[in-house]
Structure 1
Amino acid sequence: MLCGDILRSVSGKLQDEDDKARRWPWESSSGEHSLMDSLNAAVREIVTQRPDATAQIEPMRLESGMMQRIPRTGIHMTSRNAVSLINVIQNLEPDGRTPGRPIFRVELDALRTSAAWGKAGGRVENWSYDPLDDRETFWVYPGVEAGKDVWIEAVYSAEPQRAESPSDEFPLPDAFANAACLWVLFDVLAGDHAESNFAKAQAFLQAFAQSLGVKLQTDLAFPIRQGGVNDAQA
Protein backbone atom coordinates (compact mmCIF):
# COMPACT_ATOMS: atom_id res chain seq x y z
CA MET A 1 0.00 0.00 0.00
CA LEU A 2 1.22 3.49 -0.85
CA CYS A 3 1.06 6.45 1.53
CA GLY A 4 -1.01 8.21 -1.11
CA ASP A 5 -3.76 5.58 -0.72
CA ILE A 6 -4.13 6.55 2.94
CA LEU A 7 -3.99 10.29 2.22
CA ARG A 8 -6.63 9.89 -0.49
CA SER A 9 -8.94 8.37 2.12
CA VAL A 10 -8.16 11.21 4.54
CA SER A 11 -8.86 13.88 1.93
CA GLY A 12 -12.12 12.18 1.04
CA LYS A 13 -13.33 12.20 4.64
CA LEU A 14 -12.34 15.88 4.92
CA GLN A 15 -14.16 16.67 1.64
CA ASP A 16 -10.86 18.05 0.37
CA GLU A 17 -10.33 16.09 -2.83
CA ASP A 18 -9.33 18.86 -5.26
CA ASP A 19 -5.63 18.08 -5.77
CA LYS A 20 -5.04 21.56 -7.25
CA ALA A 21 -6.49 23.51 -4.31
CA ARG A 22 -6.37 21.37 -1.19
CA ARG A 23 -6.93 23.03 2.16
CA TRP A 24 -4.65 20.36 3.66
CA PRO A 25 -1.87 19.66 1.13
CA TRP A 26 -0.33 16.21 1.02
CA GLU A 27 3.16 17.66 0.70
CA SER A 28 4.66 21.02 1.58
CA SER A 29 7.09 23.01 -0.54
CA SER A 30 7.44 25.96 1.86
CA GLY A 31 7.86 24.31 5.25
CA GLU A 32 4.25 24.38 6.47
CA HIS A 33 2.67 21.30 8.00
CA SER A 34 1.40 18.74 5.50
CA LEU A 35 -0.58 15.51 5.63
CA MET A 36 2.67 13.60 5.08
CA ASP A 37 3.91 15.08 8.37
CA SER A 38 0.74 13.90 10.08
CA LEU A 39 1.09 10.45 8.52
CA ASN A 40 4.64 10.06 9.83
CA ALA A 41 3.42 11.17 13.26
CA ALA A 42 0.70 8.51 13.00
CA VAL A 43 3.31 5.83 12.26
CA ARG A 44 5.35 6.83 15.32
CA GLU A 45 2.26 6.77 17.54
CA ILE A 46 1.21 3.36 16.24
CA VAL A 47 4.65 1.93 17.01
CA THR A 48 4.46 3.40 20.52
CA GLN A 49 1.09 1.78 21.18
CA ARG A 50 1.77 -1.42 19.24
CA PRO A 51 5.48 -2.31 19.31
CA ASP A 52 4.72 -5.41 17.25
CA ALA A 53 4.00 -3.18 14.24
CA THR A 54 7.76 -3.07 13.51
CA ALA A 55 8.84 -6.24 15.31
CA GLN A 56 12.21 -7.71 14.33
CA ILE A 57 13.69 -11.04 15.49
CA GLU A 58 17.46 -10.90 15.19
CA PRO A 59 20.76 -11.88 16.79
CA MET A 60 22.07 -9.22 19.17
CA ARG A 61 25.59 -8.97 20.58
CA LEU A 62 25.55 -7.94 24.24
CA GLU A 63 27.73 -5.42 26.01
CA SER A 64 29.76 -6.12 29.16
CA GLY A 65 27.92 -6.23 32.49
CA MET A 66 24.31 -6.77 33.57
CA MET A 67 22.88 -3.49 32.31
CA GLN A 68 22.26 -3.52 28.56
CA ARG A 69 20.96 -1.01 26.04
CA ILE A 70 18.18 -1.87 23.60
CA PRO A 71 19.50 -2.72 20.11
CA ARG A 72 21.62 -0.20 18.21
CA THR A 73 23.07 -1.08 14.83
CA GLY A 74 26.64 0.00 15.44
CA ILE A 75 26.88 -1.50 18.93
CA HIS A 76 24.83 -4.69 18.91
CA MET A 77 25.10 -5.65 15.22
CA THR A 78 21.35 -5.52 14.56
CA SER A 79 19.95 -4.34 11.23
CA ARG A 80 17.94 -1.47 12.74
CA ASN A 81 17.80 0.66 15.89
CA ALA A 82 15.15 -0.22 18.45
CA VAL A 83 12.31 1.80 19.94
CA SER A 84 11.72 -0.79 22.67
CA LEU A 85 12.50 -4.39 23.55
CA ILE A 86 9.71 -6.95 23.15
CA ASN A 87 11.26 -10.30 24.11
CA VAL A 88 14.46 -12.26 24.52
CA ILE A 89 14.25 -15.80 23.18
CA GLN A 90 17.49 -17.69 23.64
CA ASN A 91 21.25 -17.67 23.83
CA LEU A 92 23.22 -17.97 20.62
CA GLU A 93 26.66 -19.47 20.24
CA PRO A 94 29.63 -17.09 19.68
CA ASP A 95 29.02 -17.31 15.92
CA GLY A 96 25.78 -15.34 16.48
CA ARG A 97 23.71 -17.95 14.64
CA THR A 98 23.64 -21.34 16.39
CA PRO A 99 20.72 -21.64 18.89
CA GLY A 100 21.49 -22.24 22.56
CA ARG A 101 19.68 -22.38 25.92
CA PRO A 102 16.42 -20.41 26.37
CA ILE A 103 16.33 -17.19 28.42
CA PHE A 104 13.51 -16.40 30.84
CA ARG A 105 12.06 -13.04 31.81
CA VAL A 106 11.88 -12.03 35.50
CA GLU A 107 11.23 -8.89 37.51
CA LEU A 108 14.25 -6.70 38.21
CA ASP A 109 13.56 -6.91 41.96
CA ALA A 110 14.02 -10.69 41.73
CA LEU A 111 17.47 -10.13 40.24
CA ARG A 112 18.39 -7.46 42.78
CA THR A 113 17.52 -9.69 45.75
CA SER A 114 19.45 -12.62 44.32
CA ALA A 115 22.69 -13.47 46.13
CA ALA A 116 24.33 -13.73 42.73
CA TRP A 117 23.70 -10.05 41.82
CA GLY A 118 26.70 -8.84 39.85
CA LYS A 119 27.71 -12.33 38.77
CA ALA A 120 29.29 -12.46 35.31
CA GLY A 121 29.38 -15.32 32.85
CA GLY A 122 29.22 -16.35 29.22
CA ARG A 123 25.59 -17.45 28.97
CA VAL A 124 22.44 -15.51 29.91
CA GLU A 125 19.77 -17.19 32.05
CA ASN A 126 17.34 -14.33 32.81
CA TRP A 127 16.46 -10.90 31.51
CA SER A 128 14.42 -8.03 32.95
CA TYR A 129 12.90 -4.99 31.25
CA ASP A 130 10.49 -2.30 32.39
CA PRO A 131 9.89 0.37 29.73
CA LEU A 132 8.03 2.48 32.28
CA ASP A 133 11.29 2.83 34.24
CA ASP A 134 13.64 3.17 31.28
CA ARG A 135 12.68 2.24 27.72
CA GLU A 136 16.35 2.32 26.66
CA THR A 137 17.73 -0.17 29.19
CA PHE A 138 17.26 -3.82 30.13
CA TRP A 139 19.15 -6.21 32.42
CA VAL A 140 20.60 -9.69 31.98
CA TYR A 141 21.68 -12.31 34.52
CA PRO A 142 24.39 -13.29 34.81
CA GLY A 143 26.13 -10.24 33.46
CA VAL A 144 28.40 -10.49 30.45
CA GLU A 145 32.03 -11.01 31.37
CA ALA A 146 34.32 -8.34 29.95
CA GLY A 147 35.95 -9.44 26.72
CA LYS A 148 33.46 -12.27 26.06
CA ASP A 149 31.48 -12.37 22.83
CA VAL A 150 27.92 -13.13 24.01
CA TRP A 151 24.98 -13.22 21.60
CA ILE A 152 21.24 -13.56 22.19
CA GLU A 153 18.21 -13.78 19.94
CA ALA A 154 16.08 -10.70 20.66
CA VAL A 155 12.67 -9.47 19.53
CA TYR A 156 12.52 -5.70 19.35
CA SER A 157 10.37 -2.91 17.97
CA ALA A 158 12.41 -1.17 15.28
CA GLU A 159 12.40 2.55 14.65
CA PRO A 160 9.93 3.14 11.81
CA GLN A 161 11.23 4.37 8.50
CA ARG A 162 10.13 7.88 7.56
CA ALA A 163 7.98 8.17 4.44
CA GLU A 164 9.03 11.13 2.28
CA SER A 165 6.28 11.30 -0.33
CA PRO A 166 2.80 9.91 -1.14
CA SER A 167 4.41 7.58 -3.66
CA ASP A 168 6.41 5.82 -0.92
CA GLU A 169 5.28 2.52 0.50
CA PHE A 170 3.42 2.80 3.81
CA PRO A 171 6.17 1.85 6.33
CA LEU A 172 3.95 -0.45 8.43
CA PRO A 173 1.91 -3.55 7.57
CA ASP A 174 -1.30 -2.74 5.69
CA ALA A 175 -3.32 -3.86 8.73
CA PHE A 176 -2.37 -0.55 10.40
CA ALA A 177 -3.45 1.67 7.50
CA ASN A 178 -6.89 2.37 8.98
CA ALA A 179 -5.37 3.38 12.31
CA ALA A 180 -2.99 5.73 10.49
CA CYS A 181 -5.91 7.31 8.64
CA LEU A 182 -7.77 7.89 11.91
CA TRP A 183 -4.72 9.47 13.56
CA VAL A 184 -4.20 11.85 10.62
CA LEU A 185 -7.84 12.93 10.85
CA PHE A 186 -7.40 13.54 14.58
CA ASP A 187 -4.22 15.54 13.96
CA VAL A 188 -5.88 17.71 11.32
CA LEU A 189 -9.05 18.46 13.28
CA ALA A 190 -7.14 19.11 16.53
CA GLY A 191 -5.04 21.80 14.85
CA ASP A 192 -5.21 25.52 15.51
CA HIS A 193 -7.12 26.77 12.47
CA ALA A 194 -10.59 27.90 11.45
CA GLU A 195 -11.83 24.37 10.73
CA SER A 196 -10.57 22.68 13.87
CA ASN A 197 -13.18 20.63 15.69
CA PHE A 198 -12.22 19.31 19.13
CA ALA A 199 -15.22 16.97 19.47
CA LYS A 200 -14.59 15.31 16.11
CA ALA A 201 -10.87 15.15 16.80
CA GLN A 202 -11.48 13.30 20.08
CA ALA A 203 -13.86 10.90 18.32
CA PHE A 204 -11.16 10.06 15.78
CA LEU A 205 -8.60 9.64 18.57
CA GLN A 206 -10.88 7.20 20.37
CA ALA A 207 -11.49 5.30 17.13
CA PHE A 208 -7.73 5.17 16.59
CA ALA A 209 -7.18 3.58 20.00
CA GLN A 210 -10.01 1.11 19.45
CA SER A 211 -8.64 0.12 16.06
CA LEU A 212 -5.34 -0.83 17.68
CA GLY A 213 -7.03 -2.81 20.42
CA VAL A 214 -5.35 -0.79 23.16
CA LYS A 215 -6.26 1.79 25.78
CA LEU A 216 -4.49 5.10 25.86
CA GLN A 217 -3.08 4.56 29.35
CA THR A 218 0.63 3.96 28.99
CA ASP A 219 0.82 1.38 31.75
CA LEU A 220 -1.55 -0.94 29.86
CA ALA A 221 0.50 -0.88 26.67
CA PHE A 222 3.05 -3.39 27.96
CA PRO A 223 2.90 -7.08 28.97
CA ILE A 224 2.49 -8.10 32.61
CA ARG A 225 5.83 -8.60 34.28
CA GLN A 226 6.54 -11.96 35.85
CA GLY A 227 8.66 -12.89 38.84
CA GLY A 228 11.08 -15.63 39.76
CA VAL A 229 14.73 -16.27 39.02
CA ASN A 230 16.13 -19.11 37.03
CA ASP A 231 18.87 -20.46 39.28
CA ALA A 232 20.45 -22.77 36.73
CA GLN A 233 24.24 -22.68 36.75
CA ALA A 234 26.04 -20.83 33.92
Structure 2
Amino acid sequence: MLLAADVLRLVSGSLQDLEPGMEARWPWGGGEEDSIGLMDFLNAGLRAIALQRPDCCAVTESIRLEPGMLQHLPTRRRNGASKDATGFCELVRNMGADGETPGRAITSVQPEVLLTWADYAKPCCCVDNFAYDRAANGLVYYVYPPVPDGRDVYVEATYYVPPRQITDANQCLGVNDSYAEALVHYILAAVLAGDNEASAAQGGKAVYHQQMFQQCMGSKAQVDTVWPKAKSSAGAA
Protein backbone atom coordinates (compact mmCIF):
# COMPACT_ATOMS: atom_id res chain seq x y z
CA MET A 1 0.00 0.00 0.00
CA LEU A 2 1.08 3.57 -0.66
CA LEU A 3 2.18 5.75 2.22
CA ALA A 4 0.72 9.16 3.01
CA ALA A 5 4.12 10.58 2.03
CA ASP A 6 3.69 9.29 -1.52
CA VAL A 7 0.59 11.42 -1.99
CA LEU A 8 1.87 14.45 -0.07
CA ARG A 9 5.08 14.52 -2.12
CA LEU A 10 3.07 14.76 -5.34
CA VAL A 11 0.96 17.57 -3.89
CA SER A 12 4.02 19.50 -2.69
CA GLY A 13 5.62 19.09 -6.10
CA SER A 14 2.52 20.49 -7.84
CA LEU A 15 2.54 23.45 -5.42
CA GLN A 16 6.26 24.01 -6.17
CA ASP A 17 6.86 23.54 -2.47
CA LEU A 18 9.91 21.27 -2.76
CA GLU A 19 12.48 23.84 -3.86
CA PRO A 20 15.84 23.23 -2.12
CA GLY A 21 16.67 25.77 0.56
CA MET A 22 13.19 27.30 0.60
CA GLU A 23 10.67 26.96 3.43
CA ALA A 24 7.50 25.22 2.31
CA ARG A 25 4.37 27.36 2.30
CA TRP A 26 2.30 24.25 3.01
CA PRO A 27 4.10 21.97 5.49
CA TRP A 28 2.80 18.42 5.65
CA GLY A 29 2.01 18.44 9.36
CA GLY A 30 1.10 22.09 9.88
CA GLY A 31 3.13 24.54 11.92
CA GLU A 32 2.80 26.57 15.08
CA GLU A 33 -0.46 27.73 16.68
CA ASP A 34 -2.40 24.81 15.24
CA SER A 35 -1.94 25.94 11.66
CA ILE A 36 -3.31 23.69 8.93
CA GLY A 37 -1.00 21.38 7.01
CA LEU A 38 -1.44 19.15 3.99
CA MET A 39 -2.12 16.18 6.26
CA ASP A 40 -5.34 17.86 7.42
CA PHE A 41 -6.51 18.07 3.81
CA LEU A 42 -5.40 14.46 3.26
CA ASN A 43 -7.63 13.28 6.10
CA ALA A 44 -10.50 15.38 4.76
CA GLY A 45 -9.95 13.78 1.36
CA LEU A 46 -10.09 10.29 2.85
CA ARG A 47 -13.40 11.15 4.54
CA ALA A 48 -14.76 12.51 1.25
CA ILE A 49 -13.77 9.30 -0.55
CA ALA A 50 -15.32 7.13 2.18
CA LEU A 51 -18.55 9.14 1.90
CA GLN A 52 -18.82 8.30 -1.80
CA ARG A 53 -17.28 4.82 -1.61
CA PRO A 54 -17.81 3.37 1.87
CA ASP A 55 -16.59 0.01 0.54
CA CYS A 56 -13.04 1.42 0.57
CA CYS A 57 -13.19 1.09 4.37
CA ALA A 58 -15.06 -2.21 4.65
CA VAL A 59 -14.44 -4.76 7.41
CA THR A 60 -15.51 -8.41 7.26
CA GLU A 61 -15.35 -10.28 10.56
CA SER A 62 -17.29 -12.27 13.14
CA ILE A 63 -19.66 -10.26 15.38
CA ARG A 64 -22.08 -11.21 18.16
CA LEU A 65 -25.77 -10.54 17.47
CA GLU A 66 -28.24 -8.93 19.84
CA PRO A 67 -31.28 -10.85 21.13
CA GLY A 68 -34.34 -10.69 18.87
CA MET A 69 -34.77 -9.75 15.22
CA LEU A 70 -33.82 -6.08 15.38
CA GLN A 71 -30.09 -5.45 15.15
CA HIS A 72 -28.05 -2.23 15.22
CA LEU A 73 -24.86 -1.23 13.43
CA PRO A 74 -21.96 -3.23 14.91
CA THR A 75 -19.99 -1.62 17.73
CA ARG A 76 -17.08 -2.78 19.84
CA ARG A 77 -19.04 -2.68 23.07
CA ARG A 78 -22.33 -4.19 21.92
CA ASN A 79 -21.20 -6.74 19.32
CA GLY A 80 -17.51 -7.34 20.02
CA ALA A 81 -16.60 -5.74 16.67
CA SER A 82 -13.05 -4.53 16.09
CA LYS A 83 -14.35 -1.03 15.20
CA ASP A 84 -17.55 0.97 15.48
CA ALA A 85 -19.45 0.83 12.19
CA THR A 86 -20.64 3.80 10.15
CA GLY A 87 -22.69 1.64 7.76
CA PHE A 88 -23.89 -1.89 7.11
CA CYS A 89 -23.34 -4.07 4.05
CA GLU A 90 -24.36 -7.69 4.63
CA LEU A 91 -24.28 -10.85 6.72
CA VAL A 92 -22.28 -13.64 5.12
CA ARG A 93 -22.60 -16.82 7.19
CA ASN A 94 -23.16 -18.22 10.66
CA MET A 95 -20.12 -18.48 12.93
CA GLY A 96 -21.39 -20.58 15.84
CA ALA A 97 -21.48 -19.84 19.55
CA ASP A 98 -17.75 -19.10 19.71
CA GLY A 99 -17.45 -16.87 16.65
CA GLU A 100 -14.94 -19.24 15.08
CA THR A 101 -17.09 -22.06 13.69
CA PRO A 102 -18.19 -21.40 10.09
CA GLY A 103 -21.76 -22.49 9.36
CA ARG A 104 -24.32 -22.13 6.63
CA ALA A 105 -24.71 -19.01 4.53
CA ILE A 106 -27.16 -16.21 5.35
CA THR A 107 -29.28 -14.87 2.48
CA SER A 108 -30.73 -11.42 2.00
CA VAL A 109 -34.49 -10.84 1.71
CA GLN A 110 -36.68 -7.75 1.44
CA PRO A 111 -37.51 -6.20 4.84
CA GLU A 112 -41.27 -6.42 4.26
CA VAL A 113 -40.94 -10.14 3.52
CA LEU A 114 -38.86 -10.87 6.60
CA LEU A 115 -41.15 -8.88 8.89
CA THR A 116 -44.21 -10.83 7.72
CA TRP A 117 -42.53 -13.90 9.22
CA ALA A 118 -42.20 -12.26 12.64
CA ASP A 119 -45.48 -13.68 14.00
CA TYR A 120 -44.35 -17.23 13.21
CA ALA A 121 -40.71 -16.86 14.24
CA LYS A 122 -39.23 -19.06 16.93
CA PRO A 123 -35.84 -18.07 18.39
CA CYS A 124 -32.92 -20.03 16.98
CA CYS A 125 -29.14 -19.94 17.28
CA CYS A 126 -28.70 -20.21 13.52
CA VAL A 127 -29.62 -17.27 11.28
CA ASP A 128 -31.19 -17.95 7.88
CA ASN A 129 -31.93 -14.47 6.52
CA PHE A 130 -31.21 -10.78 7.02
CA ALA A 131 -32.95 -7.65 5.73
CA TYR A 132 -31.60 -4.12 5.45
CA ASP A 133 -33.13 -0.93 4.07
CA ARG A 134 -30.65 1.93 4.23
CA ALA A 135 -33.20 4.43 2.88
CA ALA A 136 -35.71 3.66 5.63
CA ASN A 137 -33.24 3.47 8.53
CA GLY A 138 -29.56 2.93 7.85
CA LEU A 139 -28.79 2.33 11.53
CA VAL A 140 -30.64 -0.99 11.90
CA TYR A 141 -31.18 -4.32 10.14
CA TYR A 142 -33.18 -7.47 10.90
CA VAL A 143 -32.38 -11.17 11.17
CA TYR A 144 -34.55 -14.26 10.95
CA PRO A 145 -35.17 -16.29 12.98
CA PRO A 146 -34.77 -14.07 16.05
CA VAL A 147 -31.77 -14.57 18.30
CA PRO A 148 -32.69 -16.18 21.66
CA ASP A 149 -32.06 -14.34 24.92
CA GLY A 150 -28.97 -15.31 26.88
CA ARG A 151 -27.28 -17.14 23.99
CA ASP A 152 -24.16 -16.19 22.07
CA VAL A 153 -24.88 -16.16 18.34
CA TYR A 154 -22.07 -15.06 16.04
CA VAL A 155 -22.22 -14.28 12.34
CA GLU A 156 -19.71 -13.11 9.78
CA ALA A 157 -20.64 -9.56 8.76
CA THR A 158 -19.36 -6.94 6.35
CA TYR A 159 -19.73 -3.37 7.53
CA TYR A 160 -18.18 0.04 6.92
CA VAL A 161 -15.92 2.02 9.26
CA PRO A 162 -14.39 5.52 9.18
CA PRO A 163 -11.10 5.92 7.28
CA ARG A 164 -7.90 5.68 9.26
CA GLN A 165 -6.75 9.02 10.71
CA ILE A 166 -3.34 9.88 9.27
CA THR A 167 -1.01 11.51 11.80
CA ASP A 168 2.34 10.55 10.31
CA ALA A 169 3.53 10.71 6.72
CA ASN A 170 4.93 7.18 7.01
CA GLN A 171 1.50 5.67 7.69
CA CYS A 172 -0.28 3.65 5.02
CA LEU A 173 -3.24 5.44 3.48
CA GLY A 174 -5.57 2.65 4.57
CA VAL A 175 -7.41 2.66 1.23
CA ASN A 176 -6.60 1.05 -2.11
CA ASP A 177 -3.74 2.65 -4.02
CA SER A 178 -6.14 3.40 -6.88
CA TYR A 179 -7.56 6.29 -4.82
CA ALA A 180 -4.19 8.11 -4.70
CA GLU A 181 -4.85 10.28 -7.76
CA ALA A 182 -8.23 11.35 -6.40
CA LEU A 183 -6.58 12.31 -3.11
CA VAL A 184 -3.96 14.43 -4.88
CA HIS A 185 -6.68 16.36 -6.72
CA TYR A 186 -8.77 16.76 -3.56
CA ILE A 187 -5.86 18.24 -1.60
CA LEU A 188 -4.82 20.58 -4.42
CA ALA A 189 -8.41 21.81 -4.80
CA ALA A 190 -8.69 22.49 -1.07
CA VAL A 191 -5.33 24.30 -0.88
CA LEU A 192 -5.87 26.46 -3.96
CA ALA A 193 -9.47 27.32 -3.06
CA GLY A 194 -8.45 28.56 0.38
CA ASP A 195 -5.22 30.33 -0.56
CA ASN A 196 -5.56 34.00 0.44
CA GLU A 197 -2.92 34.84 -2.15
CA ALA A 198 -4.84 33.08 -4.87
CA SER A 199 -5.21 34.76 -8.21
CA ALA A 200 -8.04 34.21 -10.65
CA ALA A 201 -5.83 31.64 -12.36
CA GLN A 202 -5.38 29.72 -9.11
CA GLY A 203 -9.11 29.85 -8.51
CA GLY A 204 -9.56 28.24 -11.90
CA LYS A 205 -7.03 25.57 -10.96
CA ALA A 206 -8.99 24.84 -7.79
CA VAL A 207 -12.14 24.26 -9.84
CA TYR A 208 -10.17 22.07 -12.23
CA HIS A 209 -8.88 19.87 -9.40
CA GLN A 210 -12.36 19.63 -7.87
CA GLN A 211 -13.66 18.39 -11.21
CA MET A 212 -10.76 15.96 -11.58
CA PHE A 213 -11.45 14.56 -8.10
CA GLN A 214 -15.05 13.83 -9.04
CA GLN A 215 -13.94 12.41 -12.40
CA CYS A 216 -11.46 10.08 -10.70
CA MET A 217 -14.15 8.88 -8.31
CA GLY A 218 -16.62 8.36 -11.15
CA SER A 219 -14.09 6.47 -13.25
CA LYS A 220 -13.17 4.25 -10.30
CA ALA A 221 -16.83 3.42 -9.68
CA GLN A 222 -17.40 2.64 -13.36
CA VAL A 223 -14.38 0.36 -13.58
CA ASP A 224 -15.31 -1.49 -10.39
CA THR A 225 -18.74 -2.38 -11.77
CA VAL A 226 -17.34 -4.21 -14.80
CA TRP A 227 -13.84 -5.45 -13.92
CA PRO A 228 -12.54 -7.67 -12.51
CA LYS A 229 -15.42 -10.08 -11.85
CA ALA A 230 -15.17 -13.04 -9.54
CA LYS A 231 -16.10 -16.30 -11.23
CA SER A 232 -18.95 -16.75 -8.77
CA SER A 233 -20.53 -13.44 -9.82
CA ALA A 234 -19.97 -13.68 -13.57
CA GLY A 235 -22.86 -14.68 -15.78
CA ALA A 236 -22.81 -17.86 -17.80
CA ALA A 237 -21.12 -17.57 -21.18
Taking structure 1 as the reference length, the TM-score comes to: 0.80
Aligned Cα root-mean-square deviation (Å) = 2.5
Shift, 1:165, TM fit: 2.1
- The residue identity in structure 2 corresponding to 1:180 is L
> Contact 2:164–2:173 (CA<8 Å) still a contact in 1?
no
Any residues of structure 2 matched to 1:96-135 within 5 Å, and which?
Answer: 96-112=99-115, 114-117=116-119, 119=121, 120-135=123-138
Q: Residue 13 in 1 paired to residue 18 in 2?
A: no
2:56 counterpart SS class: helix
**Which of 16, 22, 25 is residue 23 of structure 1 equivalent to?**
25
Q: 1:5–1:60: structure 2 CA closer, same or farther, 3 Å change rule? A: same
**Which of 52, 55, 62 is residue 59 of structure 1 equivalent to?**
62
Larger-Rg structure: 2
**Which of 46, 49, 52 is residue 43 of structure 1 equivalent to?**
46
Matched residues, percent identical? 37
> What is the number of residues matched between the two proteins?
215
**Which of 154, 157, 161 is residue 154 of structure 1 equivalent to?**
157
State the alpha-carbon separation in 2 of the partners of residues 49 and 134 from structure 1: 18
Q: Residue 201 in 1 paired to residue 206 in 2?
A: yes
Q: Residue 182 in 1 paired to residue 185 in 2?
A: yes
Any residues of structure 2 matched to 1:53-92 within 5 Å, and which?
Answer: 53-92=56-95
Higher helix fraction: Structure 1 or Structure 2?
2
Q: Residue 165 in 1 paired to residue 157 in 2?
A: no
- The residue identity in structure 1 corresponding to 2:25 is R
1:213 counterpart SS class: helix
Higher strand fraction: Structure 1 or Structure 2?
1
Flag structure 2 segments of 5+ consecutive residues without an equivalent.
222-237
State the alpha-carbon separation in 2 of the partners of residues 32 and 62 from structure 1: 44
Taking structure 2 as the reference length, the TM-score comes to: 0.79
State the alpha-carbon separation in 2 of the partners of residues 142 and 202 from structure 1: 52
Shift, 1:62, TM fit: 0.6
**Superposed CA offset, 1:84-112 (max 9, x none):** 22221111211211121211122323333
Moved more, 92-101 or 116-125: 116-125
State the alpha-carbon separation in 1 of the partners of residues 10 and 117 from structure 2: 58
1:162 counterpart SS class: coil
Shift, 1:11, TM fit: 1.6
